Amino acid sequence: MNAQDAQLLIEIRIGSSGDLLQSYDRRELDTVIVRLHAGRNDGELLTEEKFGWFASPSWHHRAGEPLPIATMAEPCGVRVLAGKLLDAAGVAWTEVFVGGGVTAVAAAVMAGLGVAALAPRMLPFGAVNVGPKLGLPELPRLPVLLHTRVKAGRPRVALSALAAAFRAAVRG
């Protein structure tokens, strides 16, 4: 973004979609990029992001034991979705790691603690999708939306560049 407009100050916050949307609705933030949130039908669709069940290349599921899952802390919607899909498929599972951010969850995965439902753009190098091998339920593509009050000028040009960069990152 600095290359786009070095004079434009951009504050970046990382948080749950629900928390970011609340800040946006309170007008504390001008723009948020979030996953589709229940009860919302506003925002511009940026992309639909694919998810998979990822683990370290050296990780192996021990037969007869519940699937060890590394997740984000509540209120993560992907965490809830993953649990519901595993339950519906009759897959026994247990949470072995709850992280405060994607980086922590990815580190737990690469340390061999278990499997996580993650988007490929969030993965550390070397993580592998073990879902098909383990017969895990397919995770849906999740909509990512842009909510903004920025309509014109230099901020809008920079925001358009950010949206394009985000779309490119998701496409890989």
Q: What's the domain range around 128? A: 52-134
**pLDDT given for residue 108 in this prediction:** 92
Do 49 and 114 touch, CB atoms closer than 8 A? no
**pLDDT given for residue 38 in this prediction:** 64
Contacts of 107 (CB under 8 A, 6+ apart): 99, 124
Query: Do residue 130 and residue 57 come from a single domain?
Result: yes
Residue 75 preceded by cis peptide, ω within 30: yes
Query: Do residue 76 and residue 114 come from a single domain?
Result: yes
**pLDDT given for residue 59 in this prediction:** 93
**pLDDT given for residue 139 in this prediction:** 92
**pLDDT given for residue 1 in this prediction:** 66
Q: CA 88 to CA 79: how far, in whole Å?
A: 14
Q: Tokens representing 100? A: 């405060």
Closest CA to 53 of 139, 170, 125: 139
Query: Do residue 89 and residue 126 come from a single domain?
Result: yes
Q: Please list the pLDDT of the chain residue by residue as tens digits (172 residues).
A: 667 777 877 777 877 788 888 899 999 999 898 887 666 778 888 888 889 999 999 999 988 899 999 998 877 778 888 999 999 999 999 999 998 888 889 999 999 999 999 988 777 778 899 999 999 999 988 888 899 998 888 888 888 888 888 888 777 6
Query: Do residue 122 and residue 72 come from a single domain?
Result: yes
Query: Do residue 158 and residue 126 come from a single domain?
Result: no
Query: Do residue 162 and residue 108 come from a single domain?
Result: no
**pLDDT given for residue 126 in this prediction:** 84
Query: Do residue 59 and residue 95 come from a single domain?
Result: yes
**Entry pTM:** 0.79
**pLDDT given for residue 72 in this prediction:** 86
Q: What is the number of domains present in the chain?
A: 2
